[in-house]
Structure 1
Amino acid sequence: MEYSITKQEYDRIRTLLYDESGISLGESKQSLVVSRLTKRLRDLQLDNFTAYYAYVMEDASGEEFTRMLDLLSTNKTDFFREPKHFEFLRERILPGCEQDKRIRIWSSACSTGEEPYTIAMTLYEAVPNAAQWSFEILASDISTRVLAHAARGLYTEDRVREMPPEVVKRHFLQGRGDSAGLVKVKPHLAACIKFRRMNLMDERFPIKAPLDVVFCRNVMIYFDRPTQERLVNKFFHHLKPGGYLFIGHSESLQWVSHPFKTVAPTIYWKEA
C-alpha cells in the first residue's frame, strides 16, 4: 500500500513534534514524513496518517511518540566525533579543574551514548590518576529507546575501528562466543555517567549543581531561532562562571541573542 499525506495531516504531526520536542520540520517536509513513517503505518496496519496521529495521541505511555520522534530525527553519532571539542576539554578546561579534581559535564542530546562515553574516555586519558578525581557526566535524551541503547554500552566492533587499539583495549571489553563482534564499555566509564530522560523544551531542568561544560551538538539544527535562544540561555543559567558550551560544527549562534563570549567557532564561554 502506498501512502500520501494531506496538508492537514502533515500540519498535525508537525505541530505535535514542535510542541513536544522543539523540532521544527518546516512547511515542505511532507515527503520526508511519508518516507520515514510508511513502514510504521504498514506494521500497525493503519490506512492513513490521520489514523496514525490518533494512535500516537491515544498512547498514554508516550512510547509511540518516542518511536515517531526517532524515525523523524537523525540519531547518527560516532565516538570522538568533532574531535576539537575533546582536545579543548583535555587541554583548556581540565587543567582549570586540577585543584578540586572535580568536573561536571552534561551531554544534553546523548543519543546512543557515543558522546558521553567519549567524554569519559577523554577525561580518563588526560589525568595521571583518575581515581583521585570525581568525573560526573549527565547524559540525557528525549528518546527512551536511544537512552536504553546508551545505558547498555554495547556496540559493534566497527563502531570503534577508527579509535587507537590501545584506547579500545583500555576502555572496552571484547565480546566472545555469542557476543563475538561486539564490544562493551568497561565499568569505570559507565560508573561516571548517569543516563536520564530529559526534554530540552522543559521550562526547568532537574540539575542542581553548576556545570563546567555543556555539550549540545547537532540538535539545535532542528530548532527554530526562538527555541534555540531559549535553550542557549537556559544552558547559560546552569553553567558555573567560567563554564563552556559546545555546539555542533553545522550550527551557529550568530543570529541568536545570548550572553556567552565566543571562544572559537562552536565553543562558547560564560565569563568568570
Structure 2
Amino acid sequence: MLSDDNADREFEFNDKDFARVRALILKIAGISLAPSKQSMVYSRLARRLRACNHSRFSTYLDALESNSSNPEWEHFTNSLTTNLTSFYREAHHFDILKKQLQSLSRNARIEMWCSAASTGEEPYTMAITAMEAFNSMNPPVRILATDIDTKVLDHAKKGVYRMEQVDKIPDEILRKYFLKGKGESEGLIRVRPEVQALLTFRKLNLMENVWSLRPGFDAIFCRNVMIYFEKDVQLQILKRFAPLMNPNGFLYAGHSENFAMARDYFTLRGKTVYTVNTDKAAKTGTGGEGQARQVTA
C-alpha cells in the first residue's frame, strides 16, 4: 500500500520499503523505529539514494542486503541514528559525578565510558566535571567516548561548536575550558586541548557481539540511548556493562529510562543513577590497566 505522501515524493517509498528499513536498522543497530517515523526515514534516506544514484528504495536496500561489506552500510546507519545532545544535559548527573570522583582514590587512574558520545557535548562535560572535581587541568581521569555514528564522532573529535550551543554554560567555565574563535572562526568556540586530551574517541556499536573493552570503569554514561531499544536488548546490554565496572561503579541513565528489569545487576541510587551490584562487577579492579576483555553478547 502506498502512502498519500508518495505523490509529492521524489522516490516511491511504500510500506514494504519502510518495513525493510525497520528490520535492517533493528538488526544491525538495535534501534526500534516506530511506525510514526516513516516520513523521517524517507527524508533521511532519500539523500542516500541520490548520492548512490538509485531511483528506487528497493534497489538501494537490495544493494545493502546483497553485500555485508558495502561501505554504504555506514551511511545508512549514520542517517538513521538520533544525535540530540547538549552540554550539561540533565545537569544533576554532573553534580553527582563530581562528588563520585572526589570520593575515589587519587592513587589510581579513574576510567569512565560515554557509550553514546554523539557530537561530543556529553563526554566533554564529563571531562570538565573531572577537572573541576580535582581542581586540575590534568586530573587522573581517562574517558572512552564511543558512538555508532562515525560522522558525529568526527565532529566530536574536532571539539568545535557554535556559540549558541554553549550559551547555557556559565561564563567562568567557558573562560576556563574553551577558546573563542576569531577572524574566520568568529562565532565558534573550541574545547581546550587539555580537555580533549582526557578523551579517546572510538566507533562502537552496542549491538556488536564483541566490544573488546578493558574492565575497570568507575562510571558509564548510557543516557537516552536505551529508549531506542526493545526491553530484551536493553537487558542484554546492561548485563554486559556490569562486568566492565569496578565495584560500586555508577551507571548514569536518561531521565525517561528505567532499568528495573536489570535489578540483579544494578541498584537504583536515585535520579536515574545506578550502582553496579558488587557480585556482578569486575573482579580485578584494575582501573583500566588490565588486559582487553572480549565482552561478548
How does the TM-score come out when normalised to structure 2? Answer: 0.84
**Structure 2 residue 186 is the aligned partner of structure 1 residue 180:** yes
- Map 1:16-165 → 2, pairs under 5 A: 16-27=24-35, 29-57=37-65, 63-91=71-99, 93-100=100-107, 102-131=109-138, 133-165=139-171
CA–CA distance in structure 2, aligned partners of residues 189 and 209 of structure 1: 23
Deviation at 1:11, TM superposition (A): 2.5
1:233 and 1:258 in contact (8 A); partners too: no
Match 1:269 to one of 275, 278, 289: 275
SS at match of 2:260: coil
What does residue 198 of structure 1 align with?
204
CA–CA distance in structure 2, aligned partners of residues 55 and 202 of structure 1: 22
2:32 and 2:229 in contact (8 A); partners too: yes
**Percent of pairs with identical residues:** 38
What does residue 225 of structure 2 align with?
219
**Structure 2 residue 17 is the aligned partner of structure 1 residue 9:** yes
Range 181-190 or range 246-255, more displaced: 246-255
Deviation at 1:64, TM superposition (A): 2.7
Q: Note closer, same or farther for the CA distance 1:41–1:209 as it changes in structure 2 (3 Å cut).
A: same
SS at match of 1:122: helix
CA–CA distance in structure 2, aligned partners of residues 167 and 140 of structure 1: 24
Match 1:249 to one of 255, 259, 274: 255
Over the aligned positions, Cα root-mean-square deviation in angstroms equals: 2.1
Deviation at 1:62, TM superposition (A): 5.3
Task: Kindly tell me the number of residue pairs found equivalent between the two proteins.
Answer: 270
SS at match of 1:246: strand
Q: Note closer, same or farther for the CA distance 1:155–1:56 as it changes in structure 2 (3 Å cut).
A: farther
SS at match of 1:115: helix
1:22-50 per-residue CA deviation (whole Å, 9 max, x = no partner) reads 11124554333223323433454422211
Q: Note closer, same or farther for the CA distance 1:65–1:130 as it changes in structure 2 (3 Å cut).
A: same
CA–CA distance in structure 1, aligned partners of residues 182 and 67 of structure 2: 40
What does residue 177 of structure 2 align with?
171
2:255 and 2:272 in contact (8 A); partners too: yes
1:80-129 per-residue CA deviation (whole Å, 9 max, x = no partner) reads 001111010012x1122134253110000100000110000011112234
Q: Note closer, same or farther for the CA distance 1:161–1:45 as it changes in structure 2 (3 Å cut).
A: same
Deviation at 1:258, TM superposition (A): 4.2
Structure 2 residue ranges without an equivalent (≥5): 1-8, 279-297
2:48 and 2:75 in contact (8 A); partners too: no
1:49 partner letter: F
